[in-house]
Structure 1
Amino acid sequence: MSILLNEAFLFGLFGGLGLFLYGMKIMSEGLQKLAGERMRKILAALTNNRIMGTLVGIGVTTIIQSSSATTVMVVGFVNAGLMNLMQAIGVVLGANIGTTVTAQIIAFKITKYALPAIGFGVMLKLFCRKNRTYSYVGEALLGFGMLFFGLAIMRDAFDPFKTSEQFRNFFLLIGDNLLLGVLVGTIMTVIVQSSTAVIAITLALATSGLISFEASVALILGENIGTTVTANLAALGTNLAARRTALAHFLFNFIGVAYMLVLFPVFLQVITAITPGDPNLILQTQAQADAFGMRVGDNPYIARHIANTHTLFNVINTLIFLPIVGLLAKLTTVIIRGKDEVAEYHLKYIDTRVLNTPPIALGQARSETRRMGQICLEMVEETTLYLKDPNEKRLDTLVKKEEMVDLLQRDITNFLVALSQQPISSQTSKDIASLMHMVNDFERIGDYCEKIWLLAQRKQQQKIIFSEIADNDIADMAQKARDFLALIVSALDRGDVSVMEKAEFMERTINQTEETYRNGHIARLNTGECAVQPGLVFIDMLHSFEKIGDHTFNVTKALVGRK
């Protein structure tokens, strides 16, 4: 107990763990910024093919270095309706393999390069700010160095336990009682909220010669159960499909650990056969220690055995479950019963669970903004049709879409504000500002559509009749505004920033047309061809369509980076 309360141990353990976790965070953020659009394209490549889904899960998790983050993202995608349960389970299977890459990296004996990596990473980060790629590489290197430096500090902190019989007896008990080891590994992962951190602690203990290979494997199996808790917590309050996805992750790992415990001796033999060296070798002399570049009492081979255990368990588990993904999905529907009610209008792409992954979050915001633009285009088209045929059903649809545009403006803006408070690059900050301008202008387009159909209602209620010339003028303005908006929404979908010249021409045309038709109306008023009351409605409609053109041009400027 006195050792547990030892100041040097506590400072070393918590300081080392803190450096490790923060290093993981910085490295992950640097890699995410480097990957950026590539990661979104990997996710976009997802198909109904379960093998493709598994490969996507491996790729994304390897990039962001966290299976928990991937599964939380997947839960969010399912909740947003972007993935079905079968697709999501495939990604989760791959995520479990992808996260083992981290363990393989930290199993290498490269701790001595930690400080140079930190120094070089800081130099790139501080002195290459104008070159974003070098800056992101520096960020990843800094995190990489901090990760290994924290690992070295934790390993040193465990030195006092080499002489503690109580500590050794406890971990001997874990080696003899595998269920206890699995339970300890699960609880540690739930507390730390990072499976990689628990693996790092296990590696530090094992490399210091404090725990046996059997005890290490039991802790690793427990960690695989504990890591599923994060996704299940993230699924609270989501729809049925999202909760079932999180449950599938738990069942997948829990069942895998269960049969692996039954086959434990065989599993250990396989690991020993594919990994060189004796996993229970303890360096007894200084000569041995010097030969391995380690210390007396250390275990030189166990780190690679632990990393291979983690990888092989997840590969075997994935290969077993991949053909029966359908059965796993059915099992989750049996355990979590019920049927989701699908709302007619809801956020489709945005989910706050991915805010910690800025490239994905920005991609979601773009997708939701494009969707908002498409809804506005439909509103302009429906409004034009309502002018010709004031149908109540069409009006109900317009009112719902206007409410949806208001909802999107509020929620996208809130999401972008939250994203701007994350550690992001200057370019991401500019993209966020542009998207904010876009959603505000799209919302104003919705407002002007509402103004036009309210004018149409007033026209109908007061039995106002336009002349044939006025009807044709309004129809022409409506078509020009619609064509302009359709061009920009299409450019937004394609990410086409070469539309400014055409947009400027269409904007000038709409302004000139509005002026021409307004002057024509004034001339008709002077000759008595038009009455004053219809004229006021006519002028307001013209002005509203012209304002739709103005806000469409504002969207164009945001698209090409001028706003």
Structure 2
Amino acid sequence: MGATLTLLDLAGMVALLLWGVHMVQSGIQRAYGPDLRRMLGSALGSRFRAVLAGIGVTAALQSSTATGLMASSFAAGGFVDLVPALAVMLGANIGTTLIVQVLSFDVVRIAPLFVLAGVIMFRRGGSTRARDLGRVAIGLGLMLLALAGLLEILTPYEDSPPLRSMLGMVVTDPFVAIMLAALVTWVAHSSVAVVLLVMSLADKGIVPFEAAMALVIGANVGSALNPLLEGSSGSDPAGRRVAVGNMINRLVGLAVVVPLLGVIGPAILRYQPDLGRAVADFHTAFNLVLAVLFLPLLGPLARLLKRWFPTRVDAADPGQPEHLDQGALETPPIALGLATREALRMVDVLETMLKGASDALDRGDRARIGETRRMDDVLDRLNAAIKAYVMALDVDSMTRADRRRAAAILRFSINLEHAGDIIEKNVMALAAKRLKRGLQLSRQDREEMRALIDRLEANLRAAASVFVTEDARAARILADEKAAFRDLEAKAMAAHFGQLRGTGIAPAETSPLHLDLLRDLKRVNDHLVAGAAYPVLQGQGELLSSRVREPARDAPDEDPE
């Protein structure tokens, strides 16, 4: 029972350490995420500045995975050359060592101060950034408390025979230690947490220093797995070049350093006898040396990677997302901007469908009917991609404004997809029915239909503008179009029934078809208003809950008798 409780305590401390790292990352992302991404993008002009930018961004985020995904997305999109993108990864690997260096000193005593300061900033901070920095301070305090807890738990068991035997394979075979640390780092998504844990084990003598160095190398290899497996390249091999180049860097370091561990270990311990600090120093030296060695070789490495992963030229697929960069998910404001751009592609597709509907109804073109119906599949795929992308955002790293914008994006894209369904299933069905039965719309009906679709196209463009700008005046103008279409439908219905009453003869079959078409186009317009105008008006408090007038409170109830 005691061993089980000890394992639970150990797992809890490791979980607390990982959560502290997560709070530091999410706090920095929320406070400075867009600024860090802009800094990284502007620094990719030269390899030396790219290294410095990689150090700075990763030191702030404490996530080489996030930096790697950003660099991969820039390179995959063709915005920067591969060489500076690879240089960013060299800097990112150095950046992860900085917080390890800071925490390698005896700073556990100030952990409560970090937590206290963080709580005060989070609860009393007057600005959003102050609250985000409070999260960072709390995260640092939790990391320090977790490390202290790990040492306290492990100290009574440092001489335990079962623990020694369990670590026997790690001690005797460095490659087992490397694979174990790489696996743990990949699962935990944090080389920082793993290296800090190794420092604790080494400091208490549970793991010999040579085995600790092997574990650190494994943590570095594991950190290179995350961008490789979670890259933003999609199915294009060219987008994986940065991640593969970083993995080559790690594996070369492994191949060179592992045979020399017996020499490197004593040399570091002569310089730094403190085992915990020695682990941190080896971690930093490993990444610094690899950066210095690889920086002049990035040109040949880039050419080799381009040969291995050539850019694939595919036929344009309109249903394939173009802007949903997976690397930007680490920075919600950037990701939401990219989702907005993708939603505007849905606007273009829907406008093409409206033009196709106009041509199909006017000319009775069977091929145009098929093309327009197939465009609805494009809308469905883009909508599904946008929903999956927005739902993949980390809610903890999003502000209230971010969550509101995410909801607006989802509402807009879903309404556009529903509008496309109406065109595909209803409007095109009417066009096919007209062609199959040889029905001809009257000249007046055709002109009215073209005018309505032209008006819908204008409303669609207005909806896109309201969606982007969130301007309340434009939203009110767009919302008024709902009443205008409702009046047009009422007038058409009145004219139809007036003809029936006046002549007593049923009008031509094309008249009900015209009314059905008008009703469906009105429904399309309703989705444009609901997707773009209503969220803005609701946010301004200008949207009524119901169009039904409330009864007068002082009116007496009518007697049903």
Q: TM-score, normalised by structure 2?
A: 0.74
Residues 417 and 175 from structure 1, CA distance in 2 versus in 1: closer, same or farther, beyond 3 angstroms? closer
Q: How does 1:317-466 map to 2 (within 5 A)?
A: 319-330=295-306, 332-333=308-309, 345-350=319-324, 358-359=332-333, 362-413=336-387, 416=390, 419=393, 424-450=398-424, 451-466=426-441
User: Does the alignment pair 1:106 with 2:100?
Assistant: yes
Contact kept? 1:151, 1:200, Cα under 8 Å:
yes
Q: Counterpart of 1:137?
A: 133
SS in 2 for 1:408: helix
2: CA distance between counterparts of 1:387 and 1:92? 55
Q: Counterpart of 1:532?
A: 508
Q: Counterpart of 1:279?
A: 271
Return the letter of the residue paired with 1:544: D
2: CA distance between counterparts of 1:412 and 1:360? 14
Q: How does 1:160-239 map to 2 (within 5 A)?
A: 186=182, 189-190=185-186, 192-205=188-201, 219-234=215-230, 239=235
Shift of 1:132: 3.7
2: CA distance between counterparts of 1:376 and 1:521? 30
Q: Deviations over 1:425-484 (max 9, x none)?
A: 443333333233212211222123222232222223323223332222211111111011
Q: Deviations over 1:374-404 (max 9, x none)?
A: 3222222332233334434433331221122
2: CA distance between counterparts of 1:209 and 1:339? 55
Between 1:403-412 and 1:441-450, the stretch displaced more is 403-412
2: CA distance between counterparts of 1:56 and 1:543? 57
Return the letter of the residue paired with 1:101: G
Q: Counterpart of 2:533?
A: 557
Q: TM-score, normalised by structure 1?
A: 0.74
User: Does the alignment pair 1:19 with 2:16?
Assistant: yes
Aligned length, in residue pairs: 532
Shift of 1:534: 1.7
Residues 338 and 416 from structure 1, CA distance in 2 versus in 1: closer, same or farther, beyond 3 angstroms? closer
Contact kept? 1:86, 1:329, Cα under 8 Å:
no
1: CA distance between counterparts of 2:515 and 2:43? 50
Between 1:516-525 and 1:403-412, the stretch displaced more is 516-525
Shift of 1:24: 0.5
Contact kept? 2:58, 2:96, Cα under 8 Å:
no
Q: How does 1:91-130 map to 2 (within 5 A)?
A: 91=85, 93-108=87-102, 109=105, 110-126=107-123
SS in 2 for 1:464: coil
Contact kept? 2:17, 2:147, Cα under 8 Å:
yes
2: CA distance between counterparts of 1:535 and 1:48? 65
Residues 12 and 417 from structure 1, CA distance in 2 versus in 1: closer, same or farther, beyond 3 angstroms? closer
1: CA distance between counterparts of 2:534 and 2:293? 48
Q: Counterpart of 2:524?
A: 548
Return the letter of the residue paired with 2:272: N
Q: Counterpart of 2:555?
A: none
Mark the runs of 5 or more structure 1 residues left unpaired by the alignment. 283-297
Q: Counterpart of 1:477?
A: 452
2: CA distance between counterparts of 1:391 and 1:56? 57
CA RMSD of aligned residues (A): 5.1
Q: Counterpart of 1:252?
A: 249
Return the letter of the residue paired with 1:432: A
Q: How high is the sequence identity, in percent, across the aligned residues? A: 20
SS in 2 for 1:532: coil
Residues 65 and 519 from structure 1, CA distance in 2 versus in 1: closer, same or farther, beyond 3 angstroms? farther
Shift of 1:20: 1.6
Residues 244 and 397 from structure 1, CA distance in 2 versus in 1: closer, same or farther, beyond 3 angstroms? farther
2: CA distance between counterparts of 1:46 and 1:379? 42
1: CA distance between counterparts of 2:49 and 2:526? 44
Shift of 1:206: 5.6
Q: Counterpart of 1:34?
A: 31
Contact kept? 2:27, 2:397, Cα under 8 Å:
no
Residues 510 and 341 from structure 1, CA distance in 2 versus in 1: closer, same or farther, beyond 3 angstroms? closer
Mark the runs of 5 or more structure 2 residues left unpaired by the alignment. 540-561
Contact kept? 1:111, 1:149, Cα under 8 Å:
yes
Residues 194 and 561 from structure 1, CA distance in 2 versus in 1: closer, same or farther, beyond 3 angstroms? farther
Residues 91 and 396 from structure 1, CA distance in 2 versus in 1: closer, same or farther, beyond 3 angstroms? farther
Residues 166 and 503 from structure 1, CA distance in 2 versus in 1: closer, same or farther, beyond 3 angstroms? closer
Shift of 1:152: 3.4
Shift of 1:23: 0.3
Q: How does 1:292-303 map to 2 (within 5 A)?
A: 302=278
2: CA distance between counterparts of 1:146 and 1:355? 25
1: CA distance between counterparts of 2:312 and 2:359? 41
